[in-house]
Amino acid sequence: MRVVLGGMELRTTEKPDSVQHGGGQMLAVNTFPGGNVSIQNFGSTYREISWEGWFEGIDAMERMYKIGNMRQKGNAIDFVTEAYTQRVVIKEFQPEHRTNFFIPFSITLQRVVQITKQAPKEAVDKTAEEIKTAEEKKNVEKKEEQNTESYTVKAGDTLSKIAKNQYGDANEWDKIYQANKDILTSPHKIQIGQVIKIP
């Protein structure tokens, strides 16, 4: 049987004697009182393909590294025989380095329909988004400060009176109060000489 793994044709001592096929179904089974059973089918599962072999000859190390690199990358690769091609990921590859010319190994392949990898930059993107949001917030606050005037409280002033003078509407007093809550304990207590912000 001819076997090619990830573009590398396996030699007699490296390829499996047989290939496992078939699989099962991924089921969620719920049993209810009275003996009723609800079954949800989430799709097919496939048996792993596993075997043992050995690399031999002057390029044994090179061939071991080649399959080792395929495992490390974790990408889906083709497992090809004369009869079929399957997409697989190398789940385990365990060589035993005895000599540079004779390296026994065991290998397990997991058949895949679709492979999804989490992008390692997600955390970086999240942090960048938080920084961007913080900067935008600062820019808004800075713009609001630039559009804010200051006013020194005079004798007889109330927030309603100041609002009437500034906005033409005495009912806008709460806008001034909200902008100055850090220095005003009450909208009814303002003191002569206090400098307040007029947004």
Prediction pTM value: 0.53
39, amino acid identity: I
Work out the burial of residue 49: count CB atoms within 10 Å of its CB; fewer than 13 is exposed, 13-18 middle, 19 or more buried.
buried
The amino acid sitting at 199 is P
- Give the number of other Cβ atoms within 10 Å of residue 147's Cβ: 9
**Distances from the Cα of 161 to the Cαs of 4, 154, 165, 188, in angstroms?**
87, 11, 6, 12
Q: How far is CA 169 from CA 93, 144, 180, 187, in A?
A: 78, 21, 18, 16
E runs forming strands in the chain: 4-5, 8-9, 23-31, 37-46, 49-56, 77-80, 85-95, 102-111, 149-152, 195-198
Q: Is the confidence at residue 46, as pLDDT, over 90?
A: no
Instruction: Give pLDDT, residue 123.
Output: 57
Q: pLDDT-derived band of residue 146, with 50, 70 and 90 as boundaries?
A: low
- Residue 166 DSSP SS3: helix
The string of pLDDT tens digits covering residues 52-109 is: 999 999 999 999 999 999 999 999 999 999 888 999 999 999 999 889 999 999 999 9
Check residue 59 and give its pLDDT. Answer: 95
H-helix or E-strand containing 19?
Answer: none
